[in-house]
């Protein structure tokens, strides 16, 4: 028996030592804003061997990963990736939503109690306080007694703040216009570090001419350069290459023009390398976190559409950014000392007019006209239009004080609007608060609705548009639906502790955070509803 206990103790010691040796010094969470899953294969022939292909070749490629809620927007996407749950729990139900108590639209990370750091004005008055649960980065900070560092970076404030969580050392985002600099909030610091100020002095160099990285005629995986489905830039007659950014900047909100070009991704990649160097990330045995969100892909998709030459060139160049970042991590952290995952916050739909021109059902929905119709219907049905208090996205909010004042039951208003809205052109489905809260969510679709519904923050009526029907301009792409073009996202795990394999098993974005928690041997984020992807982690 003594020998048995001795052998068991030795075995546990070996396993413990192995786990300690395998724990990465740095976790890098990469989110590519508006990246459709198909971009990995569609533009594959133009990728190098050292970017996306390296991640897939040497890492774990989950080929059937989806978001499990609506709406599929940037803020809930980033929050879900890093909290391991959905808006029903983390509370970030959209980028903006109608706040019932404040009677106004609120922005997901806006915080009037903060002050801007590095710039005048409101661009830095931000914090993660509206996010209700912890992120995987928060859990690492708690586990390491705050010795493990966390930094979040992006061109968008929400895309740097939400992933980094409530306990981050800092989050940085880009303030365009006349500023052209990375900034932060008093939530994190009192002033910008010297290295950030030094970097900000060099942002002019990214304002250059955007031409295709490879010959335009080789980009056969996208539509023609000249078409009717793109917006382009003010000051240029058509949306065709090349684009002289220095010349166009003054008519396109100054430095904001960088966001709509792949040079925004170049700038963020360089900033990532600077933060790794200057904040000494991954330099000891305590795991640090860096969250990196590439936003230019989203701005370019909205501007030019998912089938544009511009979006193809952006991903060919992003492949180089990924290769550059991996090479730098190899050099500074060590090739087997870091773990990286890459995913997206949502996908995007083809420009509906493009689909219509090719006989595919699609269209446009006018929210302003729809809301006028709702107001008129409610007034005719109940004698007053004040029963509806506000709108946010595809949600309608009731005024419960007015319901009581006018002796109208919420159930009656829900039922009346349900049947009215369902009859409108472009509407696919309608859900009432009672339907959602009373649902047992037995179907995948009802789960999708319930996962995006927060009882205190969501509306009383939610309406779903038909496939490829959007409330948007007739140029450029957007997102937000429950359909595969918006929900399917790339997911690749790479590096220390990651198995080299691939899978078509259906996974969800909420599974990322608990998988990283298992890799590190730490607690999962406190609202986690995802599952550990066991086949990702090396035995």
Residues classed as catalytic: 74
Helix (H), strand (E) at residue 274: helix 263-278
CA-CA distance, 133 to 239, in Å (whole number)? 42
Helix (H), strand (E) at residue 344: strand 338-344
DSSP symbol at 41 = H
Helix (H), strand (E) at residue 200: helix 194-200
Where residue 306 falls (left for φ over 0; alpha for ψ -120 to 50; beta otherwise) is: alpha
Where residue 121 falls (left for φ over 0; alpha for ψ -120 to 50; beta otherwise) is: left
Cβ-in-10-Å burial (0-12, 13-18, 19+) of 278 comes to middle
Q: Which of 400, 521, 457, 467 is nearest to 131 (CA)?
A: 457
Place of tokens 């000494």: 280
Q: Are 274 and 191 in contact (CB under 8 A)?
A: no
Place of tokens 């061109």: 155
Measure Cα distances from 185 to 56, 147, 198, 291, 438 in Å.
36, 22, 18, 17, 41
Place of tokens 């963020």: 268
Q: Are 42 and 539 in contact (CB under 8 A)?
A: no
Helices and strands: H and E segment counts in the chain: 20, 23
Q: In this structure, what token pair is assigned to residue 7?
A: 């052998």
CA-CA distance, 384 to 14, in Å (whole number)? 73
Q: In this structure, what token pair is assigned to residue 65?
A: 């990963």
- With a CB cutoff of 8 Å and minimum separation 6, the contacts of 24 are 282, 287, 337, 338, 339, 495, 496, 497, 519, 520
Q: In this structure, what token pair is assigned to residue 367?
A: 């929210």
CA-CA distance, 449 to 27, in Å (whole number)? 32
DSSP string, 237-257: SSS-S-EEHHHHGGGTTBGGG
* Residues paired with residue 65 on neighbouring β-strands, in sequence order: 489, 507
Where residue 76 falls (left for φ over 0; alpha for ψ -120 to 50; beta otherwise) is: alpha
How many Cα atoms within 13 Å fall on the side-chain side of residue 474?
A: 7
* Residues paired with residue 151 on neighbouring β-strands, in sequence order: 170, 290
CA dihedral sign of residues 215, 217, 221, 225: positive
Q: Which of 522, 516, 453 is nearest to 84 (CA)?
A: 516
Q: In this structure, what token pair is assigned to residue 465?
A: 């548009």
């Amino acid at each position: 028996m003594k020998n048995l206990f001795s052998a068991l103790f030795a075995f546990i010691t070996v396993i413990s030592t192995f786990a300690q040796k395998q724990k990465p010094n740095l976790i890098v969470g990469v989110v590519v804003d508006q990246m459709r899953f198909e971009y990995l294969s569609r533009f594959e022939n133009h990728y190098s061997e050292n970017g996306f292909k390296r991640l897939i070749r040497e890492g774990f490629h989950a080929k059937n990963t989806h978001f499990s809620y609506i709406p599929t927007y940037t803020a809930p996407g980033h929050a879900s990736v890093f909290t391991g749950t959905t808006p029903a729990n983390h509370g970030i139900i959209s980028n903006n939503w109608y706040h019932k108590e404040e009677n106004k639209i609120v922005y997901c990370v806006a915080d009037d109690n903060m002050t801007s750091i590095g710039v005048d004005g409101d661009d830095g008055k931000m914090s993660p306080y509206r996010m209700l649960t912890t992120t995987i980065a928060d859990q690492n900070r708690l586990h390491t007694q705050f010795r493990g560092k966390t930094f979040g970076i992006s061109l968008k404030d929400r895309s740097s703040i939400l992933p980094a969580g409530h306990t981050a050392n800092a989050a940085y985002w880009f303030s365009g216009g006349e500023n052209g600099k990375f900034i932060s909030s008093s939530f994190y610091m009192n002033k910008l570090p010297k290295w950030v100020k030094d970097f900000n002095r060099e942002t002019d160099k990214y304002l250059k001419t955007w031409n295709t990285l490879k010959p335009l005629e080789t980009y056969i995986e996208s539509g023609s350069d000249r078409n009717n489905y793109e917006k382009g830039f003010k000051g240029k007659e058509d949306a065709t290459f090349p684009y002289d950014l220095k010349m166009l900047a003054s008519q396109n909100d100054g430095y904001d023009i960088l966001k709509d070009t792949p040079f925004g991704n170049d700038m963020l990649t360089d900033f990532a390398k600077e933060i790794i160097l200057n904040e000494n990330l991954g330099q000891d045995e305590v795991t640090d976190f860096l969250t990196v969100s590439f936003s230019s892909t989203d701005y370019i998709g909205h501007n030019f559409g998912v089938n544009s030459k511009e979006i193809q060139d952006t991903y060919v160049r992003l492949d180089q950014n990924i290769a550059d970042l991996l090479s730098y991590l190899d050099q500074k952290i060590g090739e087997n000392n870091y773990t990286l995952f890459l995913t997206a916050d949502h996908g995007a739909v083809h420009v509906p007019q493009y689909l219509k021109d090719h006989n595919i059902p699609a269209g446009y929905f006018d929210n302003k006209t729809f809301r006028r119709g709702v107001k008129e219907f409610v007034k005719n049905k109940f004698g007053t239009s004040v029963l509806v208090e506000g709108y946010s996205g595809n949600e309608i909010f009731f005024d419960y004080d007015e319901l009581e004042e006018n002796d109208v039951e919420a159930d009656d208003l829900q039922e009346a609007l349900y049947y009215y809205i369902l009859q409108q052109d472009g509407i696919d489905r309608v859900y009432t608060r009672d339907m959602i809260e009373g649902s047992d969510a037995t179907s995948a679709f009802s789960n999708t609705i319930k996962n995006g519904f927060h009882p205190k923050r969501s509306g009383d009526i939610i309406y779903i548009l038909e496939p490829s029907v959007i409330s948007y301009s007739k140029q450029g792409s957007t997102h937000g639906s429950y359909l595969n073009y918006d929900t399917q996202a790339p997911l690749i795990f790479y590096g220390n502790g990651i198995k080299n394999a691939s899978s078509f098993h259906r996974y969800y974005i909420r599974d990322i955070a608990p998988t990283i928690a298992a890799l590190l041997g730490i607690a999962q984020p406190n609202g986690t509803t995802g599952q550990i992807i066991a086949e990702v982690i090396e035995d």
